[in-house]
Amino acid sequence: MTAIARLRRAPLLLAAASLLGVGPGCAVHHYPLTQPLRGAAPLAGDVQTRFAYALADPAVTTPRWEDDEVTIHEGRLAIELAGWEGPQPIEFEYWEGKQRRGPSPLLLVTPILGGGKELARHNCRDFVRAGFHVLLAWRGTKVLRRSWSLQEPERFFRKAVAGRRALLDWAEARPEVDPRRMMAFGISMGGILTSLFVAAEPRLHSGVIALAGGDVPGIIRSSTEGRLGEFWAAKRAETGLDDDALEDALRAAMPSDPLALAPAIDPRRVFVVTTRYDEVVPPRFQQRLWEALGRPARYDIPSGHYSGVYYLPYITAIVSRWLRSRAEVLPLAPAAPERYAGSK
């Protein structure tokens, strides 16, 4: 069931109670950036190579909608990746905000796994109103299908991060975009991808990681999300492994886990939103990622994973406020990683 469907089925009184923080243990907890700060570890060369790419087909965009706030363009480009056959398409929407004075910050949004397009577009509208141009990167495939091999999640992560890096190539050349202030935001699976994206791409000034965790094999094994449970059951039947052995096998096949790449991120560059009663990404995995990131600024919301939709206006407000404050800070300048691979 999608997040929107769950929201429609929920009683309005429960939604109101959640928004107002009614009930025991319902306060939002704020954790400021931990002091003293830890530094960012260099990203190893072999890790940089995982996310290298070559542009196969340049971006083509078509205006699809316009009002007094924004022009929305549909777009598509293609990249080449080592180990993949043929060009890989990357589809996106570009929300070009109007009434800007000079180059403005850009926010690349990666949506939730089950939230549908309208929920993501609702986020985009809010971020445009907060002063950002927005790139909405579509997933491009159904994630964690039962037919996926144990190696496929890692391949998906590599393609997704490389594709978002290619989108930055396109965006930073646009005159209305400030290339010094390109940022990223992701929820759930989008948050997991955003944590990898921020680690792999030094051009990203800042990133927001929401409702996400580290140790993806452990999350898949523990999650109550139906799609993750179906993938896990299918792999158990296919491999004949018990739960512990399957978790170890998936972990070995997935070196690009957020916990592995988090030390390469300066904690000043990220902001984290967690959910206290989450059964899709259980809180212990969210806590582990936050700690691996160096305990950056964090808001902990008293909700589950999908009931966090009730808090979406609040989350968008605090995220926008943090992003605007970060936009006033001069960008950090880590060394640029390997940028391209392939034949073009």
- Distance CA(61)–CA(74), nearest Å, equals 5
Give percent of the chain with pLDDT exceeding 90. 74
315 pLDDT above the threshold of 80:
yes
267 pLDDT above the threshold of 60:
yes
33 pLDDT above the threshold of 80:
yes
Q: What is the pTM of this model?
A: 0.89
**Residue that the structure tokens 């993806």 belong to:** 216
pLDDT of 309 reads 82
- Boundaries of every domain in the chain: 3-327
Q: Tell me what the mean pLDDT of segment 228-249 comes to.
A: 97
pLDDT of 116 reads 63
245 vs 142, residue with greater confidence: 245
Q: Tell me what the mean pLDDT of segment 248-269 comes to.
A: 97
Confidence band of 2 (pLDDT split at 50, 70, 90) = very low
User: Measured between alpha carbons, how far apart are the two ends of the chain, in Å?
Assistant: 41
pLDDT of 14 reads 37
Confidence band of 114 (pLDDT split at 50, 70, 90) = low
Q: Which residues pair with 66 in a beta bridge?
A: 71
Instruction: Give per-residue burial for 11-42: e unless 16+ CB within 10 Å, then b.
Output: eeeeeeebeeeeeeeeebeeeeebeeeeebee
pLDDT tens-digit series, residues 193-203:
999 999 999 99
pLDDT of 18 reads 41
Confidence band of 5 (pLDDT split at 50, 70, 90) = very low
pLDDT of 3 reads 40
pLDDT tens-digit series, residues 57-70:
999 999 999 999 99
Q: Residue 260, SS3?
A: helix
pLDDT of 95 reads 97
CATH class of 3-327: alpha beta
pLDDT of 20 reads 39
231 pLDDT above the threshold of 80:
yes
Mean pLDDT of the chain: 88
- Distance CA(99)–CA(131), nearest Å, equals 9
7 pLDDT above the threshold of 60:
no
89 pLDDT above the threshold of 70:
yes
